[in-house]
Every structure is written in structure tokens, then in C-alpha cells.
Amino acid sequence: MTTSKPIPATLIPGDGIGPEITTATLMALDALGAPFVWDRQVAGAASVSAVGDPLPPECVNSIRKTKLALKGPLETPIGGGYRSSNVRLREEFKLYANVRPALTLIPGGRYENIDLVLVRENNEGLYMGYEHFIPIDGDPHAVGMATGINTRQGCRHILKFAFDYAIRKGRKKVTVVHKANIMKALTGIFLETARQIFESDYKGQIEFEECIVDACAMKLVMNPWQFDVIVTTNLFGDILSDEIAGLVGGLGMAPGANIGDHAAIFEAVHGSAPDIAGQGIANPIALMLAAAMMLDHVGRFDLGNRLRRAIDATLNEDKVRTGDLGGSATTLEFASAVVERIKASR
């Protein structure tokens, strides 16, 4: 649906560098005519500090109402503390599809002309959090155990999403990544389902191939151009999507979308980077590109494309880049340059 009216959406600035890159992204969106009207909420560490809850009901209720959110990085404690708010949001709204495109924005790097998309199952596998310790001889953590679960329905959801996405976007091939040679049940069901739905619903419409996850990781380094759309299970997708981001300049260039049948949350997939928070040097491109994906999602392809073109021109014509990309621009200087490009494109 395309509309020129401001669209209600939830805004979660996040932790660490989140507020800085959110400010930069809002500058770009305002230059595009402020297509969203925001309900600002908190989650993660900022929310723990503010209200004692990493995912307060007010935030959940806001997304339930708007069905649309833009989210900065949320801090998750390592090895203890509260459970990831990111994972909880995906579960709460059944956001089963995580879409992470990787596109070369700055030519001249180690890998040229990268244009691929990873589609990750978002709610099942080992990320379901069924874990516990077994105490032995006074050691309360003598044995750590985790149970991964993949369901036929969950596999169908993500695989059909990936095939439909690839066909809709004019892509040529879908690669199903698995470890069914060893994990014959947990990922075997994923591969088995992929073969079934390809034969019944998609054969003749798009090319299909299978790849074991460790081989896929190697091939992405040696010849990433052989891939187009990759679809895989939760843990494998988390790992491979970061590897793919490395092909195009790192996580600072990597947007993501979490999509379900009734809600969608768009995000920068990198962490909160507390070591550089408050210094004004963070790269806002990932969240800006996530905002462009969000514009596409609501049918404002015109604005999404204007934003992407403005980022491209800022990087490659104006040569305005943040430090991680070899430049010296601050977060706000980069955002201001993008805004000028957006204004010039009217």
C-alpha cells in the first residue's frame, strides 16, 4: 500500500551508539518529508536503567498497535543477566523471517559487486532458549545443555518466504544452507521441507541448490558471487549474515528486517558499541538502510530509493565517510551530507 500520509510507527533508539545513529537516521527521514509519525519507546539496557525492565509492556503494546518499528541496537548481557530483548521481540510478534541484504556500496574493496540476501529463520532452532545446567560434584555448571527445535510449520514459513521474496525481487537462485549430514533431525527437517516445497510450488520459477553450512562459509570467502538468496536456520543465519556483512565493509553497512504476518521491525544488525558511544563517530548507514527497507515495506519505494541514492552519492561522489570507512566525518556530518543529497534530489 502506497500512501503519502505519515505512517504510525514505533521508534526504539536503543543502547550505546543507538541514540546517535537514530538521530542521524531521523535527519534523513525528515528530509524525505517525515513519512513516519513516531511513538518513542525504550528497551534493552536503557530500559533496565529507566524502568527496571529490558522489554517493558509499553514498548510491546506500542508495536502491537503500530505493527511497525525502527530499532537501534539493544545491549544483551553475555553469560548471564536478562534474556535478549531482540529475541523476545521476535518471539512476541512471531517475526519468523530475518532478511539481511548485502550490497557493495563503496567500490575498490577486497570484494566488488556483492549483491546477495540472506534470509534467516528467526524463531526456532537453538535460539529457542531451552537450556539448563546439570550439577556434578559441587560444580553447579558441570554440564551445559541446550535443545534446538525446528518444526515443519516453521520451516515452511521461512522457506516459502525466501522463495517468494526471491521471485518477487527478480532473483535467480535460492540456496538452502543446512547441516543435515550430521544434524539429521534438527536441520534434516529443514532440508527435507525445502526439497518438498520447491518440487510442489516453485520448480521452473527459480533455480534451487543445497549447500552444507561449513562449505557455504568457505565459498562465501572464495567466491561469494555464486550466491544470490541464501535461506537457512536460525544459528547458521546469524553467523553467515555477519560473514556476509564483512564482504561489503562490515556490520556498519548491514541493515536487517524482522518480518512476520502481523508486524515488522527494522534494525541495524550491529551491536551497541559501548566503547565508542557518545563520541559522535558511529557509522549510521546500517540504520539508514534499515529505514529504507522500512519505507519499501510500507510501499514508499520512491522514498526508499531516494535515501539509498543519497547514501551512495555521499559515499562515492562527496567522499564523506566515517572513520570505519577510511574517512574522518562524524556521525552528524555524514547525516548532514546525506540530507543535502536528499534535498538536491527533489
Can you name the residues that pair with 257 across neighbouring β-strands? 99, 266
Interhelix angle 234-246/213-222, nearest 10 degrees: 10
pLDDT tens, 281-297?
A: 999 999 999 999 999 99
Distance CA 9, CA 123 (A): 23
**In terms of C-beta density within 10 A (0-12 exposed, 13-18 middle, 19 or more buried), how is residue 28 classed?**
buried
**233 and 117 within one domain:** yes
Query: Which structural domain, as residue segments, surrounds residue 142?
Result: 107-247
User: Is 121 inside a domain boundary?
Assistant: yes
Instruction: Let me know the angle formed at the C-alpha of 300 by 115 and 259, rounded to the nearest 5 degrees.
Output: 65
**236 and 142 within one domain:** yes
User: Is 86 inside a domain boundary?
Assistant: yes
Close Cβ partners of 334 (under 8 Å, ≥ 6 residues apart): 24, 283, 284, 285, 314, 320, 321, 322
**205 and 119 within one domain:** yes
**217 and 116 within one domain:** yes
CATH number at residue 228: 3.40.718.10
pLDDT for position 81: 61
The dihedral built from the CA positions of residue 206, 211, 216 and 218, taken in this order, carries a sign that is negative
- Res. 267 pLDDT band, cuts 50 70 90: very high
User: Is 256 inside a domain boundary?
Assistant: no
**169 and 40 within one domain:** no
> With 60 as the cut, is the pLDDT of residue 80 above it?
no
User: Is 73 inside a domain boundary?
Assistant: yes
- Res. 2 pLDDT band, cuts 50 70 90: very low
User: Is 78 inside a domain boundary?
Assistant: yes
**178 and 85 within one domain:** no
User: Is 253 inside a domain boundary?
Assistant: no
> With 80 as the cut, is the pLDDT of residue 83 above it?
no
Listed residues 215, 247, 279: the one ending a domain:
247
User: Is 98 inside a domain boundary?
Assistant: no
Close Cβ partners of 108 (under 8 Å, ≥ 6 residues apart): none
